[in-house]
Amino acid sequence: MLTETFQYTYYTFNINGNEIFNHAIITNNGTRKVRELIQELLDAGFYEFSGGGKGAHRKYAHIRYAGAVTISGKSGDDAKPYQEKQVKQAIEVTKQ
């Protein structure tokens, strides 16, 4: 399950002090949350194993994936690009 995060920027246009219209610009800032990556792994059949990480680190394994995927950060943190890439690659391997 891939999800996207959007950023909303609002502008108000005024002429001579009179508000003419409001306009919202919606952009995809490309970052996803750590919780979204974790959900993708769980949906693909990965499981978290105990003792897999210290602090905000969690390790996920899959029967068809050699090794483990380590996800760091709190669930509400923005995922780093290398984490998104690692999760995508791990899920692709399990589908082969």
- Map out the domains of the chain as residue ranges: 6-95
Sheet holding 57-62, edge to edge: 47-48, 57-62, 65-72
CATH number of the structural domain 6-95: 3.30.920.30
**Stronger pLDDT, 18 or 86, i.e. the higher one:** 86
Q: Which among 4, 21, 1 is positioned nearest to 13, based on CA atoms?
A: 21
Q: What is the pTM of this model?
A: 0.68
Q: What is the pLDDT of residues 5-56, one digit of tens each?
A: 455 555 555 556 665 555 444 444 667 899 999 999 999 999 998 876 678 8
88, pLDDT greater than 90: yes
